[in-house]
């Protein structure tokens, strides 16, 4: 099991991506959080409000999720990070596995 951490330009974009990932059964669940970001972009420090999308899936789906996120995402270089999970409740893991194709 992994979490995939994805930053999005806003909540609407995060919802659009989450729904696509869920409909394709690439992920079992997504969470969306508002965030404030400070980063370097094109030689300048940029401050912005964004949304984080955290998708719960299996490691075997990372590349498929990455491809779908890049297709739908508005950023040139979206942040798409795999976070490995070393332990999870067996009940949750069983549910996740059942919901993903």
* DSSP per-residue string spanning 26-95: S-SEEEEEEEEEEEEETTEEEEEEEEEEEEEE-GGGHHHHHHHHHHH--SSS--EEEEE-S---HHHHHH
Residue holding tokens 């990455």?
66
Q: Distance (Å, rounded) from C-alpha 33 to C-alpha 61?
A: 22
What average pLDDT is seen over the chain?
96
Task: Give the tens place of pLDDT for each residue, 66-94.
Answer: 999 999 999 999 999 999 999 999 999 99
Please report the pLDDT score of residue 48 as a whole number.
Answer: 94
Contact of 69 with 62, CB cutoff 8 Å: no
Indicate whether 101 pLDDT > 80. Answer: no
Residue holding tokens 């549910």?
95
Task: Give the tens place of pLDDT for each residue, 24-67.
Answer: 999 999 999 999 999 998 999 999 999 999 999 999 999 999 99
Q: Note if the pTM is more than 0.75.
A: yes
Please report the pLDDT score of residue 54 as a whole number.
Answer: 98
Domains of the chain: 2-99 (3.30.70.120)
């Amino acid at each position: 099991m992994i979490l995939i951490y994805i930053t999005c330009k806003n909540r609407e974009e995060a919802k659009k991506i989450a729904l696509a990932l869920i409909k394709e059964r690439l992920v079992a669940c997504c969470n969306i959080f508002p965030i404030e970001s400070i980063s370097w972009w094109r030689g300048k420090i940029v401050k912005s409000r964004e949304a984080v999308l955290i998708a719960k899936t299996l490691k075997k789906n990372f590349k498929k999720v990455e491809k779908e996120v890049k297709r739908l995402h508005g950023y040139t270089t979206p942040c798409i990070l795999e976070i490995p999970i070393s332990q999870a409740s067996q009940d949750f893991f069983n549910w996740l596995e059942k919901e993903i194709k």
